[in-house]
């Protein structure tokens, strides 16, 4: 495999890795995070949107990295999955709050970028990229979590537009977002075929909501819609085809959730190696114990396998692979990387003993932070279902 400027490169020795440019990009992002973003994250209010942090990410061009431009310099409508994964893995290895802030900006605004009118793109994408507008992806409901096609929030016809009635829950950046990508039912009883996506400004009359307090402080809450008016130009994609908009976004972001998990896992592994090679016990260092060395070996091996699955899924997306192939690889990357990160962080805590559970310790933070990755954007069980179905798809073996 030969090297290129945007994809994964293979060295003469056969090493499957990022290109030199991508590796430099990762170190650049880590340095910005260490010097500029960590202090701002520490000053933020846990559980609330950190706007100074977002604005700093905008000034450093990190958020713009979510929105690639064409060779002519115009805003592209296509996403860059590998760049997204590089950004998320790099930030996660240094500061999870900065990583999450970046990811949520992308998740909430990509449906606008990919499926919105030119007017919507020009209004919102520059603000999101600058960190001056906060975006949110509003899909889940009380009775429609993993089964997103069962959502009930109603979009009733109102002249040439609609009125939204209902509530969304578990919405990241809610209720503080400035723009919501909202998925509502426009055709009752039609399942996934009766859902439409809308871009809804938070300032619109009738939009409300409240915070939800999680174990790992995170800006998340409910969004309520009390006869909220949406205009024809605020439709994303086609009427009754909003589920496609949601799935296209999730296919892009699932590998990057894996990248987030890999970044956290790498931070935990680095901490475990540092601790066990300096902690004296039983007449030597902890790392001299075969049980410890083997645990570290398993952590490193599974983490590297996760990283390669993430890169492969991102490469499939960027190379224009079939939707079937992208969905399958995205599910595999998200499943394996998040399950692995849970294992790696848990093992790192075990190797640290009680120290890893002290409030404020890196591992204590990661231990709380990693748990949600196995749930949001499709729980691990949902990913297994997607992968399993791909095995039974007609002629699937010929497409792999």
343 CB-contact burial (10 Å; exposed 0-12 / middle 13-18 / buried 19+): middle
Point out the catalytic residue in the list 27, 141, 377, 381. Answer: 377
Residue 263, token pair as written in the block: 């970044």
Contact 62, 102 (CB under 8 A): yes
Catalytic site includes residue 381:
no
Q: What is the pLDDT of residue 8?
A: 54
Count the Cβ atoms, other than its own, within 10 Å of residue 27.
10
Residue pointed to by tokens 């791909």: 390
Beta-carbon count within 10 A of 282 CB: 8
| Residue 291: CA count within 13 A, CB half-sphere | 4
At residue 215, the pLDDT reads 85
What is the block-wise mean pLDDT of the chain (400 residues), using blocks of 10 residues?
Answer: 43 59 94 97 94 98 87 76 95 96 96 96 96 97 83 95 97 97 95 95 98 89 98 97 92 93 97 96 92 97 96 93 92 97 98 94 95 92 94 60
Q: Which domains, from first to last, does the chain contain?
A: 8-134 (1.10.540.10), 137-240 (2.40.110.10), 243-399 (1.20.140.10)
Predicted model pTM = 0.89
pLDDT at 395: 55
Three-state secondary structure call for residue 379: coil
Q: What pLDDT score was predicted for residue 143?
A: 86
Q: What pLDDT score does 394 carry? A: 59
pLDDT given at position 70: 67
Candidates 289, 283, 268; CA nearest to 363 is 268
Give CA–CA dist 113/344, Å, rounded: 35
Q: What integer pLDDT is reported at residue 10 of this predicted model?
A: 41
């Amino acid at each position: 495999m030969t090297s290129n400027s945007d994809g994964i490169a293979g060295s003469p020795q056969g090493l499957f890795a990022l290109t030199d440019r991508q590796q430099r990009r990762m170190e650049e992002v880590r340095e910005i995070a260490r010097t500029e973003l960590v202090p701002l994250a520490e000053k933020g209010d846990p559980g609330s949107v950190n706007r100074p942090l977002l604005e700093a990410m905008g000034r450093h061009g990190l958020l713009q990295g979510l929105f690639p431009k064409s060779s002519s310099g115009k805003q592209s409508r296509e996403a860059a999955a590998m760049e997204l994964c590089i950004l998320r893995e790099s930030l996660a290895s240094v500061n999870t709050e900065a990583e999450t802030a970046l990811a949520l900006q992308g998740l909430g605004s990509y449906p606008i970028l990919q499926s919105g009118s030119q007017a919507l793109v020009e209004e919102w994408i520059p603000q999101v990229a600058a960190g001056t507008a906060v975006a949110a992806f509003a899909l889940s409901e009380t009775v429609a979590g993993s089964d997103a096609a069962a959502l009930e929030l109603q979009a009733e016809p109102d002249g040439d537009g609609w009125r939204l009635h209902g509530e969304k829950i578990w919405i990241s950046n809610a209720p503080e977002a400035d723009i919501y990508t909202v998925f509502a039912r426009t055709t009752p009883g039609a399942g996934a075929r009766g859902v439409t996506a809308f871009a809804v400004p938070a300032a619109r009359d009738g939009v409300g909501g409240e915070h939800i307090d999680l174990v790992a402080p995170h800006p998340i809450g409910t969004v309520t819609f009390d006869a909220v008016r949406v205009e024809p130009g605020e439709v994303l994609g086609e009427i009754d085809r909003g589920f496609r908009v949601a799935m296209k976004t999730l296919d892009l972001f699932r590998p990057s959730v894996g990248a987030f998990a890999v970044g956290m896992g790498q931070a935990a592994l680095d901490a475990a190696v540092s601790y066990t090679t300096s902690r004296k016990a039983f007449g030597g260092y902890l790392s001299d114990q075969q049980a410890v060395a083997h645990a570290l070996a398993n952590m490193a091996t599974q983490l590297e396998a996760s990283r390669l699955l993430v890169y492969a899924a991102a490469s499939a997306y960027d190379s224009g692979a079939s939707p079937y192939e992208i969905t399958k690889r995205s599910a595999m990357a998200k499943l394996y990387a998040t399950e692995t990160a849970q294992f790696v962080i848990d093992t790192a805590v075990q190797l640290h003993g009680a120290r890893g559970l002290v409030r404020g310790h890196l591992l204590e933070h990661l231990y709380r932070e990693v748990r949600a990755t196995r749930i949001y954007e499709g729980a691990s069980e949902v990913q297994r279902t997607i992968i399993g179905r791909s095995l039974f798809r007609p002629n699937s073996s010929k497409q792999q």
